[in-house]
Amino acid sequence: MRRAFDPLRPPDPPAPDATAFTLPDVTVIVPGQPAVPGQDLTVRHGRIQHLTASGSQPAPAPVLERFRHAYVLPGLVDMHSHLPAASALRMSGLFLLLHLAHGVTTVRDAGDLDGTAVPAARRLLADGHPGPRLSTAGAFVTAGAPRWSNSHLLSGPRDAADAVARLADAGNEWVKAYENLEPATIRALVDAAARRGLGVLGHVPTQLRHEQALLPDSQHFFGVPLPEDLQADTVVCRASDWHGVDERRIDQIVATSVLHRLAHTPTLVTACGLLTYRDPTGPERPPGIEQLPSLFPDVLWHPDRGIPAYRGLTPGRLASVEDALSRKLRLVGRLHAAGVRLHLGTDTLQPFVAPGLALHQEMRLFGRAGISAADVWRLATVDAARTIAPHTNEPSLGLIQPSAPADFLIYDHDPTTGLDPASGLHAVTSRGHLYLKSTLDDAVRRHSGHHRQPHVRLIGNIATRRQLRKTSFRR
């Protein structure tokens, strides 16, 4: 039956370039392990079926000669991202494509703001749309006045088990602990999550220090500045009021993290996004922002009329953001040297943070913190997958071995000697579907072009401005 014309409907997604194939005589690189050259790698039914010495047996699937002598690495993992809400604009597909086009094959969604974003993305993936594997937190677990509509409110520790059960029953693998929680409630959440096989990540509540909250995986380095050093309970103050974070405070954070085996997801790239407000249309504007619908840079992130939390940032405040970033880089380097688990995440949807590309920026920021390129690649691939795997049915996620999920990248050289994940990327394989980089880039161009059409742009900008007028939330 003929489909009715829909002017807001985005372009159809691309078909995979291959689903059953053999890559001949490739070098397998699992960061942190010795490279293994001369391998024939076969994918069938979404998994790595065979990995054998080149030419030692007949290829059980069509041989892709164009990739002979290529380099195969596990896919990148964004450990803190957010997907766009479902709407008439249907932006989910573009975000999924942007992640995949930049080699991100797994995304940990760290909270669905209104409860529509994850279901919309899951429906697309179930229908065969290209995109990364999702590991989700679902609702925010919080106390007091909720900051997002998709929240589970707790009155105390005894509510923790019910909140965790609701998240687990909805198919989530993570608990997002959020604001206003007391230490006893956080402990109850961690215990209840462990019983259900869920991980816990979240914000150190504004009123607590990092060593009081003891979150298993704290986000954005919240809780590192002392509560009394914050000018206000806003995301900008929490990101920039770091004047009290001296060497003594860094020592305390490192010691607490080592003692209690706590992980950190710093999302350093969000500071770079804030610094873009010094000249939002100038050279500091990150490349790739033009691929997003205009409602992001022109409306949501507008310096005077955008999201209330980010309006009117003064030069003094932005100077504090820059100073805080230098201290965060120092802390990242110290934590890594002490063996503390670090995750690379981007907090996509924050100002001037684009899906996929932002993870490349985060990798380079980790390099600025003094971490070697080889270690950054290990953190962004194998280590991140190892964190996610226990909460899924994929224990070999992030590995290149028989029976492992076929989520990997194909390069024309070994990219782990530097920190430019875009250089030499030829193809991305996600859940066994191989897409040429050119195929994904073309799909992104078509989807971005759709969102730049005058009628789509107008509808999106008007709807977003209306939504902004309804909110006074300064977070």
Residue with tokens 């050259």: 37
Cα distance between residue 368 and residue 333, in whole Å: 9
- pLDDT mean values, one per 10 residues, the chain (475 residues): 69 96 98 97 97 92 97 98 94 97 98 95 97 97 92 96 97 96 98 97 97 98 97 94 98 98 98 95 84 93 92 96 98 98 96 96 98 98 96 93 97 97 97 98 96 90 82 53
Give residue 1's pLDDT.
41
**Contact partners, residue 442, CB within 8 Å, separation at least 6:** 14
CA atoms within 13 A on the CB side of 215: 27
Q: DSSP labels for 314-381?
A: -HHHHHHHHHHHHHHHHHHHHHHHTT--B-----BTBTT--TTHHHHHHHHHHHHTT--HHHHHHIII
Give residue 3's pLDDT.
56
**Contact partners, residue 238, CB within 8 Å, separation at least 6:** 206, 220, 222, 225, 230
Structure tokens at 101: 């086009």
Helix, strand, coil percentages, rounded to 5, for the chain: 40, 20, 45
Q: Helix H segments across 102-246?
A: 117-126, 160-169, 183-196, 210-213, 235-240
Q: Are strands 140-142 and 76-81 parallel, antiparallel or unpaired?
A: unpaired
Give residue 466's pLDDT.
83
Structure tokens at 318: 């932005």
Cα distance between residue 280 and residue 276, in whole Å: 5
Which residue, among 326, 325, 331, has the nearest Cα to 254 in the 3D structure?
331
Q: Helix H segments across 338-419?
A: 357-368, 373-378, 384-388
Structure tokens at 72: 């195969």
**Contact partners, residue 6, CB within 8 Å, separation at least 6:** none
Give residue 23's pLDDT.
98
Cα distance between residue 460 and residue 451, in whole Å: 9
The CATH number that domain 71-137+203-469 falls under is 3.20.20
Give residue 287's pLDDT.
81
The predicted model scores a pTM of: 0.96
